[in-house]
Amino acid sequence: MMSVVKLSSLHRVLVTRPKEQSENLIDVLNRGGFNSVYLPMLEIRGVAGRDRKSRVKHELNQLVQRSYAIFISSNAVKWTSSFIAANDIDWPKGLPCVAIGAATEKALRAEGWRIADSRAEFEDGFFGAQDSESLLALEILNDIAGKDITLIRGVGGRQTITDTLESRGANVHCCEVYERHCPDFSASAWRKKLYDVLIASGKLNQERLVVDDFNDAAKFSAVSAITFASGETLNNFCEFLRQEKTLYRPIDGLDNTLLSARVENFIAEAKSTPVVVPSGRVMKLAEEQGFVDITVAENAGAEAICQSLQLRLGVLAR
């Protein structure tokens, strides 16, 4: 176990996870000595619409005939459980379930569903890859020719798992039980949430920032690091950040060229802030978005993210 050294009180970490996954990460970061601040950049909802709900119901009723059910996230477990309860569907107790990582396996255990291949070490924390590629490396998913497998995931998930399992001869049935949404912030609501996070002295009361306010108060240096648990949270954050260029209308009597330059500097400062991401894939997305200080955690788990932050910010002896 690494020994903790002096931690600066200025290490404020911006958490962008959806509400469902943020509480545990914030708790772990706070216990790790960080001051966590929260700005959700993704919302998770159960599928909507008659057709999608009908497809989910059909797939869940077919589980008794499947060899395995693969859960791509803890959200997949949560929304599957919610759906079967709301639709009076019997869960096949003998069905072997495969989890993509520790949090997903923990959610499966909480439901009392059978685990096909346990990979989690809950007491010590799970440090190892927890992504599509590590899932596909599991021994039980190698000899699957002719087997029927249900992949339970969100709408529009990556095709890597489906394509690979099918290439191994499996019959893959996708069951999409939840949807991902960009938070529905208006431009003014986004600005208020962002500045509430960034300004250490408290909330910003001005309806519209003037040049000196923007220069002196709204500095991204108030945050020591940002965590992005997925490519979608990263992309949504950057999309909102781009809106900064359109938020400031010309103000009579002020040098608006200077204001525009300070907005650009603010965005550049945001992208120079250290970020922690869960995989090489998300790291590439961060690079494409212009971030320059990127640390890749071993996985998307709270403990792994906390450890990466501690190492990057110099609060652990290596």
Domain membership of residue 274 (yes or no) is yes
Read off the pTM. 0.79
pLDDT at 56 over 60: yes
Last residue of a domain, one of 153, 181, 209: 181
Pair 66, 38 in one domain: no
Read off the tokens for 98: 């495969």
Pair 51, 120 in one domain: yes
Domain membership of residue 5 (yes or no) is no
Read off the tokens for 57: 């119901």
Domain membership of residue 126 (yes or no) is yes
Pair 245, 174 in one domain: no
Most confident of 17-21, 121-125, 143-147: 143-147
Residue 134: what pLDDT? 84
Lowest mean pLDDT among 108-112, 285-289, 299-303: 299-303
Looking at the structure of the chain, the number of domains it has is: 2
Residue 262: what pLDDT? 65
Percent of residues, the chain, with pLDDT higher than 90? 50
Pair 232, 284 in one domain: yes
Read off the tokens for 60: 């869940």
Pair 65, 166 in one domain: yes
Percent of residues, the chain, with pLDDT higher than 70? 75
Residue 220: what pLDDT? 58
Pair 106, 207 in one domain: no
Pair 101, 197 in one domain: no
Specify which residues 70 forms β-bridges with: 98, 151
pLDDT at 5 over 70: no
Specify which residues 142 forms β-bridges with: none
CATH code for the domain of 55: 3.40.50.10090
Domain membership of residue 75 (yes or no) is yes
Last residue of a domain, one of 163, 181, 199: 181
User: Cβ–Cβ contacts within 10 Å for residue 259, how many?
Assistant: 19
Residue 38: what pLDDT? 87
Nearest of 181, 164, 283, 193 to residue 230 by alpha carbon: 283
Pair 291, 170 in one domain: no
pLDDT at 127 over 70: no
Last residue of a domain, one of 117, 146, 181: 181
Pair 37, 164 in one domain: no
Structural domain for 236, as ranges: 12-42+184-312
pLDDT at 20 over 80: no
Pair 124, 176 in one domain: yes
Domain membership of residue 2 (yes or no) is no
Pair 135, 254 in one domain: no
What would the pLDDT profile of 61-77 be if each residue is shown by its tens digit?
999 999 999 999 999 99
Q: Sort strands 97-99 and 294-296 into parallel, antiparallel or unpaired.
A: unpaired
Pair 58, 99 in one domain: yes
Residue 216: what pLDDT? 40
